Amino acid sequence: MNTQLKDNLVCPRDKSRLVELGNQLCCEFNHSYPVIDGIPVLLVNEVPQTLWVGSASLDQSRITSCVDPYRIATLGISDEEEAELNQRILIPMDSIDPVVSFLVAATNGLAYRHLVGKLRGYPIPDLRLPEGNGEVLLDIGCSWGRWSLAAAQKGYSVIGLDPSLGAVLAARRVAYSLGLSTSFIVADARFLPFRAGFADIAFSYSVLQHFSRSDAERAIAEIGRTLRPRGRALVQMPTVLGVRCLYHQARRGFRQPRAFDVRYWTIPALRRLFTQRIGDTSIKVDCYFGIGLQLSDRHVMPFTRRLAINSSELLRRAAQKIPYLSYLADSVYVESIRTTAPAATCS
């Protein structure tokens, strides 16, 4: 761990200072957290995890001598993909990290399914932030690190966090292979293990959309606590009225979401929640016709998806002049500036 990260980590339960004792981080209230292969595992084990890979990471963190340095059990991929991944690890076929090649659809979205096991380059997106100058950026729910890498390339001091130990280890490997200086930890967005006012920017993509309303509220409150005054949050969320969002809601019969289902939000509800928990909030379009479509990935998409991406970009630009078009977007960015006092974390 670098000094900046070590000096600003706190206990996710009580927010007290952590000290390093051997291969553990401990607080004054006798909470301890293992450091596995140099990665702190700062999960709270007495609460249900937002994703089952968190439980798998907790289980793996108890194994002191692991024969699987990739921690495949924590990735959340199918049995078939796991078998193929094991083969790829034994017989490397290219320079792409094998874990990333099998996580790409789970992380980037269903539009990337055709690339599973077939990646020829890392799909690093365009981060819609100005060039950085060493500002601390938290990438909440980083998985294999695509947005962390994008932020590091723009000059930010990046800390990525995710409940999957295997994904975080992959992110560290990829960052190292690209010569990027980044830090990664295993953690839960609802219990951010950073001191108050530490971060300049908190970023999250395709993460809080899977949380229950109460878990999302808690995570957003934690983001507000962690940001410095005038710090910025940029969080992607899906909307109720987007064309593809309506399609997916109809497919499940408009029933209440369960487990890892996507939760769809109205723009007024997003604006109210983020304003209450963080501060001044605005809504910007991310994309139309799906969640996760990136203009920077157009070259790896089949013809029909390239058409969708092109159309989405035209509508996104139009929405900058006609704000009501944002209500029809499938995916939006909620941008908040921390102008309020840090909100108390939801109980």
Domain boundaries, the chain: 136-338
* Eight-class DSSP state of 258: -
pLDDT means over runs of 10, the chain (347 residues) = 88 96 94 95 96 94 81 92 89 86 89 88 95 97 97 98 97 97 97 97 97 97 97 98 96 93 97 97 96 92 94 96 95 94 54
DSSP string, 268-326: HHHHHHHHHHTEEEEEEEEESSSSS--GGGGGGS-HHHHHHHHHHHHHHHHHTT-GGGG
Contact 41, 58 (CB under 8 A): yes
Backbone φ and ψ of 83, nearest 5°: -65, -45
Handedness of CA 102, 106, 291, 286 (dihedral sign): negative
pTM: 0.95
pLDDT given at position 6: 87
pLDDT given at position 346: 53
> CA 147 to CA 150: how far, in whole Å?
5
pLDDT given at position 341: 64
pLDDT given at position 62: 87
pLDDT given at position 192: 98
Superfamily of domain 136-338: Vaccinia Virus protein VP39 (3.40.50.150)
pLDDT given at position 88: 87
Residue with tokens 């939801």: 346
Beta-strand (E) ranges in the chain? Answer: 19-21, 24-26, 32-36, 39-42, 136-140, 157-162, 182-187, 199-204, 227-238, 279-287, 331-338
